[in-house]
Amino acid sequence: MLTVQRQIRESDMSSTRTETDGFGPIEVPGEALWGAQTERSRRHFAIGTQRMPIELVHALAEVKRAAADVNGELGLLEAGKAAAVSAAAARVAAGEFDAEFPLSVWQTGSGTQSNMNTNEVIASLASLALGGGLGADRTVHPNDDVNLGQSSNDVFPTAMHVAAVLRTRPLLAALGRLRAALQAKAVTFADTIKIGRTHLQDATPITLGLEFGGYDAQLAIAEHALRQALPAVHALAIGGTAVGTGLNTHAQFGRRVAATLAQRLDAPFVVADNLFAAMAGHEALVVLHGALRTLAIALTKVANDIRLMGSGPRAGLGELHLPENEPGSSIMPGKVNPTQVEALTMVCAQVMGHDVAIGVAASQGQFELNVYKPLIAFDVLDSLRLLADAMDSFAAHCVEGIEVDLPRMQELLGRSLMLVTALAPHIGYDRAARIAKHASTHRTSLQEAALSVGGLSVEQFDAWVDPRHMLGPR
């Protein structure tokens, strides 16, 4: 069996062309738009199956497009060439050439090879548009023209931030839809009284609406944290070039590129106050992902509560009927499982794991550059995508279809010993505790225990022990 490396070297090589870079000539698949540096990375980093996220490639292309426009405006790039590069970058950003980006996430820690992959594809497209060819016949240079005024060290982190901002939008939209579904259930269940639980043991009564309102409030905290994290992500490293000094770029370049991106992508992008920090560290993305971790924690709690309330249907709590979407067992006929809960909580576990990896990676900034950028980018974007998809699925296929088993809920409420709490203001804590212990020991109802212990009448018990009167302050 061929190794992965040999498969890559030998695939698509029936027709080749020669490309050249600083390391000399190399054969590239004949129809490929990429060039020598992409091909070297494709061969030398055949690691795993994870590819550089396409959202990051699209963000890189948006940066290249803005850079070409600015370089044309500043007179640093001939007008026709600037227009061709900008148009080519726009097509890449729109996803027309996604197959031209084959590189692994596990490559150079600066993302240089993916930056060059983008430069080479855009250069090839611009060259063809201007009547040139590929390889030695290319009339647009990947470095001198497409990468003009830039370095991988400032462009790649800029693209990381742009991609994160763009991916946060669908996540916030999905979170809004899930919160709306929870809020609707809170209204629907506003008068549905059930037994509360603490320590997984019976507690005093609560309404199901209050519980669902609490779930929404937990997610609101996570949403607030996300929105608070975004301003730092709007700050871009563009203009810093190699080490943050701006060597080989125009003094206005970074500011103009950020302004172009802000206008084009409808986001308040600006140049970071400190370009050295923007390239050497990734605290902004650490904070953003920390908010995603908070969201994952809240979602896990919400999903597990719903899972437990729907457990059974006959040997569990069975208070809720969860939507039955598909068979749950290959051997047990009729079994249905809380699969949406399981999918959501697995996603949340993955996000929590990503947070650990991002923290470790972000700590590895030595001097002027963090060199774990692809890992950080991959995990942040993966978390954003997974959480958005999982929340939409959970809202549509679980929360919106939840129904109450009212007889079961009333049965559990009536059997709870913690209704005795209503007696404490009238007969004292110690006597109320003796009643609860008597009911538990002799397996009687609370009323029967109260009458056996003595000291109050049936009428007093019924007047004082009413779940409807136990939902708030006296």
Q: Residue 136 in contact with residue 37, Cβ under 8 Å?
A: no
Token pair for 98: 């996604």
- Residues serving a catalytic function are 199, 329
337 labeled binding residue: yes
274 labeled binding residue: no
How confident is the model over 223-247, as pLDDT tens digits?
999 999 999 999 999 999 999 999 9
CA-nearest of 301, 298, 307 to 219 is 298
Q: Where are the alpha helices (DSSP H) in 313-419?
A: 339-362, 373-397, 406-415
Task: Map tokens 């991959």 to a residue.
Answer: 378
373 labeled binding residue: no
Q: How confident is the model at residue 474 (pLDDT cuts 50, 70, 90)?
A: confident
354 labeled binding residue: no
Q: Are strands 193-198 and 201-207 parallel, antiparallel or unpaired?
A: antiparallel
For the chain, residues classed under CATH 1.10.275.10 are 15-148
Backbone angles phi, psi at 104, to 5 degrees: -75, 150
For the chain, residues classed under CATH 1.10.40.30 are 417-469
Taking only Cα atoms into account, the Rg of the chain, rounded to an integer number of angstroms, comes to: 30
Angstrom CA distances, 415 to 13, 317, 419, stand at 74, 13, 9
Mapping DSSP onto H, E and C, the string for 186-245 reads HHHCCCCEEEEEECCEEEEEEEHHHHHHHHHHHHHHHHHHHHHHHHHHCEECCCCCCCCC
20 labeled binding residue: no
How confident is the model over 293-321, as pLDDT tens digits?
999 999 999 999 999 999 999 999 999 99
Angstrom CA distances, 223 to 167, 179, 227, 261, 298, stand at 15, 10, 6, 25, 11
Angstrom CA distances, 260 to 28, 165, 172, 203, stand at 34, 15, 24, 58
Task: Map tokens 């110690």 to a residue.
Answer: 430
311 labeled binding residue: no
CA-nearest of 118, 85, 88 to 103 is 118
41 labeled binding residue: no
Angstrom distance (rounded) from CA 102 to CA 47? 12
Token pair for 463: 């007047």
141 labeled binding residue: yes
119 labeled binding residue: no
Angstrom CA distances, 72 to 65, 79, 84, 139, 469, stand at 11, 6, 11, 17, 73
Entry field: residues in the chain: 474
pLDDT of residue 120: 98
Angstrom distance (rounded) from CA 327 to CA 332? 9
Specify the fold of 15-148.
Answer: Fumarase C; Chain B, domain 1 (1.10.275)
For the chain, residues classed under CATH 1.20.200.10 are 154-407
Angstrom distance (rounded) from CA 429 to CA 141? 84
- Mean pLDDT, rounded, for 257-276: 98
Out of 2.40.110.10, 1.10.3720.10, 3.20.20.100, 1.20.200.10, the CATH code matching 154-407 is 1.20.200.10
Token pair for 113: 């090879």
pLDDT of residue 14: 64
Q: What percentage of the chain carries pLDDT values higher than 70?
A: 97
Angstrom distance (rounded) from CA 276 to CA 247? 13
Angstrom distance (rounded) from CA 62 to CA 260? 10
Angstrom distance (rounded) from CA 22 to CA 274? 32
Q: What does pLDDT average to over the chain?
A: 95
What is the pTM for the complete model shown? 0.94
- CATH class belonging to 417-469: mainly alpha
336 labeled binding residue: yes
111 labeled binding residue: yes
Token pair for 365: 């900034």
Token pair for 150: 């830039």
Q: Is the pLDDT of residue 217 over 80?
A: yes
How confident is the model over 42-99, as pLDDT tens digits?
999 999 999 999 999 999 999 999 999 999 999 999 999 999 999 999 999 999 999 9
Q: Quick one: CA dihedral 466, 469, 472, 473, positive or negative?
A: negative
Q: Is the pLDDT of residue 6 over 60?
A: no
Q: Is the pLDDT of residue 10 over 50?
A: no
